[in-house]
Structure 1
Amino acid sequence: MPNTACILAIDQGTTGTTALLVDVAGNIVARGYQEFTQYYPHPGWVEHAPEEIWNATRQAIDALFGETVPNIIALGITNQRETTLIWDRQTGKPVYPAIVWQCRRTADRCTSLEKQGVAGEIKTKTGLVLDAYFSATKIAWILDNVNGARGQAERGELAFGTVDTWLLWKLTDGAVHKTDYTNAARTLLFNINTLSWDDTLLEIFNVPKAILPEVYPSANNFGTASFYRNFWLETFGKNICLDGIPIAGIAGDQQAALFGQLCTEPGMVKNTYGTGCFLMLNTGAEKIETETGLLTTLACSLDETPVYALEGSVFVAGAAVQWLRDGIQIIENAAETEAIASSIPDSGGVFVVPAFTGLGAPYWDADARGAILGLTRGSTRAQVIRATLESIAYQSADVVTAMVAAADLRIDRLRVDGGATVNDFLMQFQADILGIDVERPAHIESTGLGAAYLAGITAGMWNDIAELEAYRSAQATSADEVSTGRVFSPEIDRNERHQKLSQWKKAVQRVMSC
């Protein structure tokens, strides 16, 4: 356990909580993780138990430590966005399970609101589409379906929060009810032009203002932790006390990853490769609205000056590799795909379009379905595997292309993170098909690092972004990080790139519903 100053970062995700200790050089020196249960009470419904989220967070933190705690100077939080919790301010007890971002129970309500003609105003004010994905209709559903909840909310007896706000409330023993710009911006209730809760939106969604948290920039002194020593002694048998540590940074997971990749200037873009892909482009002070299915949102800011971003999602990325393993069972594990794909010169004209749940940006075709195209008698298992990896890069390139067109910004590098980035074949093909460098950092847990960086800058561990960038550069050239940090440069020419992209677009057209 390090004796030097560290930042504690909590990365609360959809299936579990990760806790990281980050030292002054930006290195992850300890990691803890704890999963929790997913609940599916009805088809299309997804819930979490708020107390299980909190317990998993405490257990992840405990896994970091031995008998003593290092010199933690600040704490940062990043979280699954949109997931909705409401609790009693007096007792601190949730009135209903957390409704997860994936939950579709309020889809009909969104359709009804769209028929009322409010979608345009909502998008102008929030940068978002009217969808059950976001928090507003989830809040209203809880208030309308839990006996007495609406009356309590109107009297100011209940508190709403996304997961960051819930953890902040618990960490401060109920003393603080706050969130940051990036999380508020995913509720459909926050005006990203005025940086405030919007009365018109609250009226549209029938949400009382009294339940909403205060909103601040992502780098901010949100409160002070109140981890009681007795809890740790009784529960884990450890002499641990986090009382008095400032909670100095909060951001939604994708914005935290953007900051963790130090994409702090306009034109800088990151892609997180997980089950799907989440791409985010920093557009600086300019709020860009598009008609290509990209979302306009707020990125992390160090002060009250807004920083805007464009966000696009690929529905199926790593999930396509899981399908190769669990669905058609042609691989044993994800790791072997790199060697298999690299063992052949190309995919032999085979294209996999993994539209298992439709296509996301820039196509937005919910009725599209997946296909393997270009098969001949000579097609092989290796070609299907290679084409599946290539599909992840192609889909990401489609989103980057839409971002470039919308923002009119020059992009010369893609910064990447997430589990799938360990696949060198995928990263090289991504560079080839984009025609730009792809930079994989020494530490690919960019989401947690983003929370740590925000807290560390606020607390004075780091002076500015330039200092963090210097540490990042040092990590990339460090001998013990060679296997992880790497820049992939394009190895094919423009003509070959255009030919491949043209063939991909033809394949996509084949699976679209219209």
Structure 2
Amino acid sequence: MLEKGEFVGSLDCGTTSVRFIVFDKYAQIIAQHQLEFPQYYPNPGWHEHNPLEIQAHAEACIEETVKSLVAKGFTKDSVKVIGITNQRETAFVWSRKTGKPLCNAIVWDDSRTKNLVAHYEHILHNKGLEISPGVWKKGQEAIDALPPVFHYRLYFSATKVRWMIDNYPEVAKAHENDDMCFGTLESWLVYNLVGGVKKGLHVSEMSNAARTLLFNTATLSYDPALLKFFGLRQSIVGDVVSTSQIYGHIAAGSLAVYLSCLTKGEAKCTYGTGGFLVYCTGNEIVKSGHGLLSTVAFQPGPDAKPVFALEGSISSAGSAITWLKDSMHMISSSSQVNDLAAQEPTSGGVYFVTAFSGLLAPYWDSSATGMMIGITQYTNPSHLARATIEATAFQTRAIIQSMNLKVDGGMTNGDLAMSIVADINGTDVIRPEMRESTALGSALLAGSAIGLFGWDLTRPETLSEVNTKGTMIFKPEMSDNIREKRWANWQRAVERCRGWEAGIDEEEEDLLG
């Protein structure tokens, strides 16, 4: 006879794979299933996903995990609530009438909109004639209320949607006929999981909405003036909702929520395809003068005050290791990078700036490209593997200079990688035994929405027993002198790769395709 348990599920939709994980009240994993989905690169710098494939993979992961749960002796309804955690900024558009995608989604790290971003930058800085004075005034007032670095978000969603309208006739027609819905990945998933076109539930979770360039953090809503600024209809966006509430049979959550970064003053970095470092600032918006973004971390309920954070993003972290595997064929699995890198005590003077799609925080240079420097006849694959890991550590230091750092994500599984992060940053790196913290964060928010296990995100003490087992601390062992010398060399390498694309002439561009 099957046992009726009490568990919470998390649908974790990242950049390259989907997982469904079922947790108990102590954050122990009871069952899970993971599937990778196809990546599409139709042109250099372009990156797309098929929305229907992501949805199918998500539903398959849920189904397989439930089968595993039943095989372990639990009933299907032991999962009381489901949260969603997702890649952000990726833009999805679909038809309101049919519920079908209008085109492939443009992924967060896609760089095709760099010229469009430059166009809007020109308007912002020069108050050009492309928009009427009335719309300009309202749009400028809304934009002025946001951090200065808000303007430079190549990977945010608004310019991706604008590009779709400008380049795909079917998207333009749907927009003109008021038949277009836009959302980030959680919007698309919730829309389909609660019934799709028949139910018509179109929502945007607050911390994801904050990543679109269309959201005003002062009013906590989509801003009509910003929509007008980008030439977008108000009707394309969904209702903004909190991070912890119930919608039909699913609870929406956000990648921006981390178990270990719920309290003001805590910092957390997730190393996945990219790297995303969040510093919790509590219930106040703190503006950064160092290239970091003020953003909504989460809102723990419809009537609760939102929690804000400063965030810095690294465009290539785990994806650089994947590049070593798939393009360079230096390793056969991503986990082997640590063993390969451990064969040498240093990178042999090699520095690898992994700017595959430009540099994000704090440089914000979309024209930067990847570069290895310091290569000699002495250089071997182990040096290159170590330089690849070090690249993420250097970029982490560039974002945040001094504090104890909590980490999670696939790249953190290697002890060597975490030791390198500690050495280059000169700080302790704290790694929990259960490192699926983004999935657990969404599970916590989902569970909190129904009061499961007594969890309450407004009272962090109710989470005191969650994910406390097996924490490991990596302490820096590199001398201050060597650390600062290597930091100076990294900065020199970054300066050499910046602005590279701006130097490619038309003939070279034709040869590059």
- TM-score using structure 2 length: 0.82
Distance 1:72 1:64 in 2: 11
Deviation at 1:348, TM superposition (A): 4.2
Deviation at 1:90, TM superposition (A): 4.2
Contact 1:107 1:131 survives alignment (8 Å): no
The size of the alignment, in residue pairs, is 466
Cα deviations by residue, 1:184-243 (Å, 9 ceiling, x for unpaired): 11111110111011121111112222232111221122x122xxxxxxxxxxxxxxxxxx
Q: 1:140 to 1:26 in 2, by over 3 A?
A: same
The residue type paired with residue 434 of structure 1 is N
Once the two structures are superposed, the pairs formed by residues 171-186 of structure 1 within 5 Å of their partners are: 171-173=193-195, 174-186=199-211
Contact 2:422 2:428 survives alignment (8 Å): yes
* Equivalent position of 2:135 in the other structure: none
Q: 1:134 to 1:315 in 2, by over 3 A?
A: closer
Describe the SS at the equivalent of 1:302.
coil
Once the two structures are superposed, the pairs formed by residues 304-343 of structure 1 within 5 Å of their partners are: 304-343=304-343
Describe the SS at the equivalent of 1:129.
helix
2:426 matches 1:427 = no
* Equivalent position of 1:32 in the other structure: 33
Distance 1:30 1:288 in 2: 39
- TM-score using structure 1 length: 0.81
Once the two structures are superposed, the pairs formed by residues 452-467 of structure 1 within 5 Å of their partners are: 452-461=443-452, 462-464=454-456, 465-467=460-462
Cα deviations by residue, 1:275-326 (Å, 9 ceiling, x for unpaired): 3322121122332333433222110121441322122122333333344445
Once the two structures are superposed, the pairs formed by residues 194-343 of structure 1 within 5 Å of their partners are: 194-221=219-246, 223-225=247-249, 247-251=250-254, 253=255, 255-256=256-257, 259-260=258-259, 262-303=260-301, 304-343=304-343
The residue type paired with residue 193 of structure 2 is L
Distance 1:41 1:510 in 2: 28
Q: 1:202 to 1:506 in 2, by over 3 A?
A: closer
Distance 1:41 1:333 in 2: 25
Contact 2:15 2:87 survives alignment (8 Å): yes
Describe the SS at the equivalent of 1:25.
coil
Q: Residue 490 of structure 1 is aligned with which of 467, 472, 476?
A: 476
Distance 2:47 2:344 in 1: 41
Distance 1:189 1:43 in 2: 27
2:218 matches 1:193 = yes
* Equivalent position of 2:96 in the other structure: 89
Distance 1:28 1:162 in 2: 27
Contact 2:158 2:213 survives alignment (8 Å): yes
Q: 1:296 to 1:376 in 2, by over 3 A?
A: same
Deviation at 1:502, TM superposition (A): 3.1
Q: 1:163 to 1:126 in 2, by over 3 A?
A: farther
2:172 matches 1:165 = no
Name segments (4+ residues, structure 1) moved above 6 Å. none
Q: 1:200 to 1:398 in 2, by over 3 A?
A: same
Contact 2:154 2:366 survives alignment (8 Å): no
Contact 2:142 2:223 survives alignment (8 Å): no
With 461-470 and 207-216 compared, the bigger mean Cα shift is at 461-470
Q: Which runs of 5+ in 2 are unaligned?
A: 127-139, 501-513
Cα deviations by residue, 1:465-487 (Å, 9 ceiling, x for unpaired): 323242222x22xxxxxxxx421
Give the aligned CA root-mean-square deviation in angstroms. Answer: 2.9
The residue type paired with residue 277 of structure 1 is G
Q: 1:48 to 1:374 in 2, by over 3 A?
A: closer
Contact 2:26 2:465 survives alignment (8 Å): no
Describe the SS at the equivalent of 2:177.
helix
Contact 2:19 2:35 survives alignment (8 Å): yes
Distance 1:286 1:357 in 2: 32
Contact 1:87 1:159 survives alignment (8 Å): yes
Distance 2:489 2:184 in 1: 42
Could you tell me the percent identity over the aligned residues? 38
Distance 1:132 1:375 in 2: 31
Distance 1:166 1:101 in 2: 15
Contact 1:267 1:281 survives alignment (8 Å): yes
Distance 1:87 1:339 in 2: 44
Q: 1:3 to 1:138 in 2, by over 3 A?
A: same
Contact 2:39 2:48 survives alignment (8 Å): yes
Contact 2:394 2:424 survives alignment (8 Å): yes
Distance 2:405 2:428 in 1: 6
With 58-67 and 281-290 compared, the bigger mean Cα shift is at 281-290
Cα deviations by residue, 1:437-485 (Å, 9 ceiling, x for unpaired): 2111122222211110100111112333323242222x22xxxxxxxx4
Describe the SS at the equivalent of 2:298.
coil
Cα deviations by residue, 1:388-419 (Å, 9 ceiling, x for unpaired): 32222122111112xx6xxxxxx3x2111111
Once the two structures are superposed, the pairs formed by residues 378-457 of structure 1 within 5 Å of their partners are: 378-401=378-401, 411=403, 413-457=404-448
Deviation at 1:342, TM superposition (A): 3.6
Describe the SS at the equivalent of 1:17.
strand
With 424-433 and 499-508 compared, the bigger mean Cα shift is at 499-508
* Equivalent position of 1:15 in the other structure: 16
Contact 1:105 1:132 survives alignment (8 Å): no
Q: Which runs of 5+ in 1 are unaligned?
A: 226-246, 405-410, 477-484
Contact 2:143 2:226 survives alignment (8 Å): no
Deviation at 1:341, TM superposition (A): 3.6
Deviation at 1:510, TM superposition (A): 4.3
Contact 1:179 1:250 survives alignment (8 Å): no
Describe the SS at the equivalent of 2:124.
coil
2:496 matches 1:471 = no
The residue type paired with residue 248 of structure 2 is T
